[in-house]
Amino acid sequence: MNDLLSIADLDAASLRKLLDRADAFRRAGRVRQPILDGRSVALLFEKPSTRTRVSFEVAVARLGAHPVVLSAAESQLGRGETIADTGRTLSRYVDAIVWRTYGQDRLETMAEAADVPVINALSDLEHPCQALADLATMRWKLGPLDAVTLAYVGDGNNVVHSLLLAAALSGMELRCVTPPGFAPDPVIVARATTLAAEHGGPAPVVTTDLAAIDGVDAIYTDVWTSMGAEAETEARRAAFADYQVNAALVARAPDAVILHCLPAHRGEEITDEVIDSPRSLVWDQAEHRLHAQCAVLEALIR
């Protein structure tokens, strides 16, 4: 693994190793571990961020490296410099590039030009660091992932794309329940199906039927309208109304834990009653972003 642009950049063994290291970082707590002492990491943010920015910046510092944080307005990318030129230049200064951007092709161009690892901190297609944190959280609370059944309810977006691939590598069963017309990318679903077959796990289920939630171990949701789709907000509220994670829906799986990658639009995709309930792991999930990203930085840079 030279870069982490997609969960598909991993294999089952490297995924397990990252999850093991994330758990070790969790158990170590807030102790500084200067594994990357003397290194520097560029953190580029073209999209708004709270958890990703703070968790990466803290992770870099906790490992003893220096974070260099740049917004789109602060880098020459915002003034027309090519991605390749930015990648070549940053490679002369830093030991890794973490980028939160738009198209997946932008990350691929950066990785091709850069001589240092490139990490996808979110693109329109995938959110691999989020998926690593999600699996780390579930493994911590629910045990071996190949015994876990997860229902993702909502939009077939970048978050579920990475979850599909991660579930296939880990042996976890994933049921993706979306309104008609909002299913995940069929190319990603096909890739996840192939990976699951290669690893002897269950193929992902993609359906509009809420009955797929019955009896699962975990229920996951995300915002109905992702960044860049704001013009569709009202239409999406109507389309997703029956897919709200509320008391009636979670009653289908009485023992399931609740997951959300945040930020939550309370009263839309999830109710206060559910996200604030004892079954909710969303704050543990947010914390695991830090631990998982420590593991990624260590693996790629060290």
Q: Which residues are catalytic?
A: 100, 127, 130, 222, 261, 289
CA angle, 206 then 256 then 189, to 5°: 20
* Residue 187 CB coordination number (10 Å): 10
Q: Say how far apart CA 57 and CA 4 lie, in whole Å.
A: 17
Q: N- to C-terminal Cα distance for the chain? A: 12
What are the Cα distances from residue 198, in Å, to 116, 170, 172, 174, 192? Answer: 30, 11, 13, 16, 10
Q: How many CB atoms lie within 10 A of CB 48?
A: 11
Angle at 54 between CA 167 and CA 302, to 5 degrees: 65
C-alpha R_g of the chain? 19
CA gap 224, 214 in Å, rounded:
22
Locate tokens 């493994």: which residue? Answer: 139
